[in-house]
Amino acid sequence: MYRLKQLADDIYYVGVNDRQKALFENLWPLPYGVSYNSYLITDEKTVLVDTVDVCYSDIFFKKIADALGGRTLDYLIVNHMEPDHAGSIRLLRQQYPDVKIVGNAKTFGMLEGFHGIKEGLHEVKEGDILDTGRHKLVFYMAPMVHWPEVMVTYDSTDKVLFSADAFGTYGTLDGGVVDAEMNTDHYWEEMIRYYSNIVGKYGSPVQKALQKLSGLDIRMICSTHGPVWTEQIPRAIRMYDRLSRYDADKGVVIAYGSMYGNTEQMAEAIASSLAENGVKDIIIHNVSKTPSSYILKDVFKYKGVIIGAPTYCNQVFPEVDSLLSKIEMREVKNRYFGYFGSFSWAGAAVKRLTAFAEKMKWEVVAAPVEQKQGLKEDKYLECLTLGKAMADRLGRD
């Protein structure tokens, strides 16, 4: 019944779209939804590469059955055990009891833990090959991109890389599956957001994986989320390479908390000074309104980061504290940093921001600005100085 997208002579796209979930990992907004990609190879042996979120197993199994056309399923390759991909494994085993599950030793530990499956396994190691007839599938370990068991599968026959989360992005596949047959404009910004939210902590493992795969002839990248990359492979690789090196554009993100607008005025003053001094890309986020998912995206995107907060219950404003801990968790490197804060009777926000700057080892471009109660002229001028210092620092690169 289903007209499945054929990616090669015997490779089919059998993934699904999720437009229902509000928050990926129950944390990150999905305005464009997300796809869970899975691929079926109908060679002399039949092979499924990854499954989908269990909520979509019904439609997923129908697609698989259509693509198999009455044949049985011989192998399931598990590149990644996170439940957005591995969630349907137990049900798949019930549907195809003889399917051999292909993974590495770490995969199988998780397979038992999540699904209680211990039998019918085919363990692979770095460089092992699974010969399915026409295809020779080679396995490369990619630990911490984004879990420790992650591996990727390279089809050396058709030059297809099944890359697990790598090169993935938020956003459903709205009709088209392959980049060449769709307008991909909105996926690029979503790719930065996806990377910063999900994979952001693991820059060094991503770099190792990119180096390991750099010698392969890759004509198609089949990630677990978002479009199948063909003609835009160089752009996707460049994006992951830059993000995993924490390389960033010449611009500034200002994130502030403010209860009654006093700290917000400092943010406005700093932004006006940045603009006056030639910075064109300036993004201001009110942390109480903008989900941290988007702020993290801009912290990964821009070289300059400025954060401000009021003091709250003798601590930093809690929404700013939450943002700081998310940035710390991702170990974002090499940013220029400015910060400011306020208090009504005893200051704590600037102290927390100072500790944050030290922990991150970011280059602080100017002395922090701390104001008591409302904005006065001397503090306003200090905000302008901070903005100029950031603009000057960016200008020297």
Which residues contact ligand FEO by CB under 6 A?
A: 80, 82, 84-85, 146, 165, 224-225
Structure tokens at 312: 């709250």
The residue (of 80 and 379) whose beta carbon lies closer to ligand FEO is: 80
The residue (of 34 and 349) whose beta carbon lies closer to ligand FEO is: 34
Alpha-carbon distance of 39 to 76, in angstroms, equals 10
Alpha-carbon distance of 64 to 72, in angstroms, equals 10
Burial 322-352 (b: 16+ CB within 10 A, else e): ebbebbeebebeebbbbbbbbbeeebbbbeb
The residue (of 81 and 252) whose beta carbon lies closer to ligand FEO is: 81
The residue nearest ligand FEO at its CB is 82
The residue (of 106 and 372) whose beta carbon lies closer to ligand FEO is: 106
The residue (of 85 and 93) whose beta carbon lies closer to ligand FEO is: 85
Alpha-carbon distance of 178 to 4, in angstroms, equals 12
Q: Measured between alpha carbons, how far is residue 367 from residues 10, 283, 340, 344, 384 in Å?
A: 62, 21, 9, 20, 12
Strand partners, 340: 308, 369
The residue (of 37 and 157) whose beta carbon lies closer to ligand FEO is: 37
The residue (of 146 and 388) whose beta carbon lies closer to ligand FEO is: 146
Residue that is written with structure tokens 């989900």 in the block: 291
Neighbour tally for 306: CB within 10 Å = 28
The residue (of 85 and 330) whose beta carbon lies closer to ligand FEO is: 85
Q: Which of 340, 283, 296 is nearest to 316 (CA)?
A: 340
Q: Are 269 and 306 in contact (CB under 8 A)?
A: no
Q: How far is the CB of 81 from ligand FEO (least distance, A)?
A: 9
Q: How far is the CB of 34 from ligand FEO (least distance, A)?
A: 8
Q: Which of 238, 232, 235 is nearest to 219 (CA)?
A: 232
Q: How far is the CB of 106 from ligand FEO (least distance, A)?
A: 14
Phi, psi of 261 (to 5 degrees): 100, -5
Q: How far is the CB of 201 from ligand FEO (least distance, A)?
A: 12
The residue (of 10 and 84) whose beta carbon lies closer to ligand FEO is: 84
Alpha-carbon distance of 125 to 105, in angstroms, equals 8
Q: How far is the CB of 79 from ligand FEO (least distance, A)?
A: 10
Q: How far is the CB of 36 from ligand FEO (least distance, A)?
A: 8
Q: How far is the CB of 165 from ligand FEO (least distance, A)?
A: 4
- What's the first-to-final CA gap in the chain, in angstroms? 57
- In a 3-state reduction of DSSP, which class is residue 25? coil
Phi, psi of 25 (to 5 degrees): 55, 20
Q: How far is the CB of 87 from ligand FEO (least distance, A)?
A: 10
Query: What are the residues whose beta carbons fall under 8 Å from the beta carbon of 94, sequence distance 6 or more?
Result: none
Q: How far is the CB of 255 from ligand FEO (least distance, A)?
A: 26
Q: Which of 133, 125, 91 is nearest to 107 (CA)?
A: 125
